[in-house]
Amino acid sequence: MFDAAWRAAAYCLHPRVISLSFLPLVLCMAFMGLLGWFFWTDVLQALAQSLGQWAWSRWLLEALAAWDWSSAPQWVAGLVLLLVTLPAVVVLCLLLVAVFMTPAIVKLVAQRRFAQLLARDEAPWWASLGWSLGASAMAGAALLLSLPLWLFPPFGLLLPPLIWGWLTYRVMAFDALAGHASAQERALLLQRHRVPLLAMGVVCGMLGAAPTMLWALSAITIVLAPFMVALSIWVYTLVFAFASLWFAHYLLQALSDLREEA
């Protein structure tokens, strides 16, 4: 696992990996830009009006108004909207990386380290997409159900990395084996290496907290929101690219060892 980690970190400096990281950024920003163009203003106004009807938000707005902050409702509504949409951005970024980056990354690792590894029963693209969507739906449900627990510091710090880690593990592990392993080999490897793969996913989930720290540092103003969204998406893309490389190095080596045992 540690051998695959340092190899993945070194591969992140490869020009091909760096160039591939911009494609999910462009696609995600285009999608978010269209949503923002058509819906951002209306949703922001509706949320600002709703904040005045909730007890906790009304108390917060009154406290901010005491400091002569006239634009507090718009600022709080914008911050809440950003925090709500951020998990959707992460899931979208993960799906884009899984569809557009991971196959190319796995191919790069296979060519450079496992040229002798033959492909068996390659999974079609729609199977990989269906697997990723199913795992994303389960992770989204877990996030929504656990959202009230985030108000308590231990759960707020532990639950998001665990959920993102599980999602990263499920998506990246399948895609790393989709082009080389048969269905029986995938099932056997995912079962045999479940604990280290989950640990790798949790580590990647913790690394995914880096863009969240960017928002914590820049939450003073909403003016920088477009720039921060772009920067956050690119950091998420790099984290998921590292995860793809890590899982590819680990699982292709595990697949090679499994066939040698056979």
Query: CA-CA distance, 225 to 26, in Å (whole number)?
Result: 16
Which parts of the chain have pLDDT scores under 50? 218-221
CA gyration radius for the chain?
21
Task: Measure the CA angle with vertex 98, ends 115 and 235; round to 5°.
Answer: 110
pTM: 0.76
Query: CA-CA distance, 262 to 247, in Å (whole number)?
Result: 22
DSSP-derived secondary structure letter, 262: -
DSSP-derived secondary structure letter, 114: -
pLDDT of residue 4: 93
pLDDT of residue 218: 47
pLDDT of residue 219: 46
Per-residue model confidence as pLDDT tens digits over 22-74: 888 788 778 777 777 777 667 766 766 666 565 555 555 555 555 555 555 56
What type of residue is 57?
S
For 255, residues 6+ apart whose C-beta sits below 8 A from its C-beta are 117, 177, 180, 181, 185, 189
What type of residue is 74?
Q
How many CB atoms are closer than 10 A to CB 56? Answer: 8
For 235, residues 6+ apart whose C-beta sits below 8 A from its C-beta are 210, 211, 214
Residue spans of the domains in the chain: they are: 2-37+86-261
pLDDT of residue 221: 46
Query: CA-CA distance, 153 to 238, in Å (whole number)?
Result: 27
Tokens of 78: 């914008």
DSSP-derived secondary structure letter, 36: I
pLDDT of residue 167: 87
Per-residue model confidence as pLDDT tens digits over 111-134: 999 888 887 777 777 788 788 888
For 5, residues 6+ apart whose C-beta sits below 8 A from its C-beta are 200, 246
pLDDT of residue 145: 84
